[in-house]
Amino acid sequence: MSDHDHHHDHDHSELSETELRVRALETILTEKGYVEPAALDAIIQAYETRIGPHNGARVVAKAWTDPAFKKALLEDGSKAVGTLGHVSRVGDHLVVVENTAARHNMVVCTLCSCYPWEMLGLPPVWYKAAPYRSRAVKDPRGVLADFGVTLPKEIEIRVWDSTAETRFLVLPMRPEGTEGWSEAQLADLVTRDSMIGTGFPKRPGAPS
Amino acid sequence: MNGVHDMGGMDGFGKVEPEPNEPMFHAAWEARVMAMVRAMGAAGAFNIDTSRYYRETLPPHVYLASSYYRKWLLGLEDLLVGKGFIAKEEVDTGHVVQPPKPLKHGKFELDDVERVMVRGKFGRTAPVPAKFKPGDKVRAKNIHPLTHTRLPRYVRGHVGMVERDHGCHVFPDSAATEAGENPQWLYTVVFDGTELWGPDSDPTVKISIDAFEPYLEPA
């Protein structure tokens, strides 16, 4: 118990140093007239409420049910997503890549943390951390194993390293047993990781 | 620059550890840092490439030991000091000691928030025709710029194929040092895993990068 408490206090003091620094910086930026604190609050609120994997899930579900949309999406991701009107404005350079029985796609940014924010929200910590960034391009099957994902030996794995302002979204394969499902039902099956390529959509009837 | 941020292919960092039901921020200060970076960028204090460059130039041991938003915080402090918007003494003491420097787009206020929710445009009119087309074999140049570049080390010197042409984009290597946008053609170039990682590596793997034309030569 005392060990636990000690550990906890230690973590807390480290955090406080950073917190103080952040507060100091915000005070300076405010006092110098560079930023309005209420505008910072509004940015945070907008990120917390408006972006997230539900945006990408809707695009995927639409592609699963509408062949013409899917074709347009694979040709020009930004343009096709723009027609849905649910994201304030998707970046100009969204590339959607399709998983098939012969090819599995996976997205990484080895140099920093590039990620399709409008489609998936802010990236999870693991996406921005060294283990994923270092190994995804060299040992993608090993990385997938860390997620509990195993692919057939013969399937091609294509890793997309996001080294420019292009952004990549994986279009996963539609789960079997979903014939006749509505777009809204299908969107509930689409996970964030399935759109990064480190997971699959949920199966019908699987616990969410 | 050949920094520790250029992690593709490095070993020893261990397993990927996904966090179930991960929150968007793990502490309130992370959100403040994210918002300050977005706001100061939108106010015109720096461009996205410059902000990446400052994070990359954190000392290697600091880069590796710092959490993601801690890197953002340290990079932002260094950048704002480096560009003369704040003084080192102000960062250390939390008190203003010198007058503000004008921002290109003025103070960041509530009315400006929608601007940061819209992603910047990076496509530019092509000043010259493209040198390469899909299907062309190309070699990633064996270059080692000392400043910011988006050509990862693990592809340098290797042969791949141009797969897609994305048009002309702002060239990060120039923009990062505020040497202008210098638009360049951008291509998806795909490499066989065995070309990058040797004949014993997984033959089913292909890796692509998005490469600016100055990174490439015919092969």
Contact between A130 and B93 using a beta-carbon 8 Å cutoff: no
Q: pLDDT tens for residues B49-96?
A: 999 999 999 999 999 999 999 999 999 999 999 999 999 999 999 999
Q: pLDDT tens for residues B141-193?
A: 999 999 999 999 999 999 999 999 999 999 999 999 999 999 999 999 999 99
Query: Mutation test of the interface with chain A: which of B2, B117, B181, choosing the one with the most A Cβ atoms within 10 A?
Result: B117
Q: Which of A111, A122, A124 sits opposite B19 (nearest CB)?
A: A124
Q: Which of A124, A139, A155 sits opposite B18 (nearest CB)?
A: A124
Query: Mutation test of the interface with chain A: which of B74, B109, B210, choosing the one with the most A Cβ atoms within 10 A?
Result: B210
Neighbouring-strand partners of residue B206: A158, B192
Q: Which of A34, A47, A160 sits opposite B85 (nearest CB)?
A: A34
CA distance A15 to chain B (A): 9
**Which pLDDT value is given to residue A7?**
44
Q: Which residues of A touch B99 (CB under 8 A)?
A: 32
- A114 flagged as catalytic: yes
Q: pLDDT tens for residues B4-16?
A: 999 999 999 999 9
Contact between B24 and A40 using a beta-carbon 8 Å cutoff: no
Q: Which one of the listed residues A2, A88, A113, A208 is annotated catalytic? A: A113
Q: Which of A88, A134, A166 sits opposite B10 (nearest CB)?
A: A134
**Which pLDDT value is given to residue A208?**
55
The nearest alpha carbon in chain B to A47 belongs to B117
- A2 flagged as catalytic: no
Q: Which one of the listed residues A2, A16, A78, A109 is annotated catalytic? A: A109
**Which pLDDT value is given to residue A107?**
98
CA distance B181 to chain A (A): 14
| SS3 annotation, chain A | CHHHHHHHHHHHHHHHHHHHHHHHHHHHHHHCCCECHHHHHHHHHHHHHHCCHHHHHHHHHHHHHCHHHHHHHHHCHHHHHHHHCCCCCCCCCEEEEECCCCEEEEEECCCCCCCCHHHHCCCCHHHHCHHHHHHCCCCHHHHHHHCCCCCCCCCEEEEEECCCCCEEEEECCCCCCCCCCCHHHHHCCCCHHHHHCCCCCCCCCCCC
Q: Which of A32, A47, A130 sits opposite B7 (nearest CB)?
A: A130
**Which pLDDT value is given to residue B129?**
97
**Which pLDDT value is given to residue B116?**
87
Residue listed under structure tokens 């391009």: A137
pTM value is: 0.94
pLDDT above 90 as % of chain B: 95
The nearest alpha carbon in chain B to A119 belongs to B119
Q: Which one of the listed residues A2, A13, A16, A112 is annotated catalytic? A: A112
The kind and range of the H/E element at B79 are: helix B68-82
- A134 flagged as catalytic: no
Q: Which residues of chain A have pLDDT under 70?
A: 1-15, 87-90, 207-208
CA distance A8 to chain B (A): 15
Mean pLDDT over B196-205 rounds to 98
The nearest alpha carbon in chain A to B185 belongs to A164
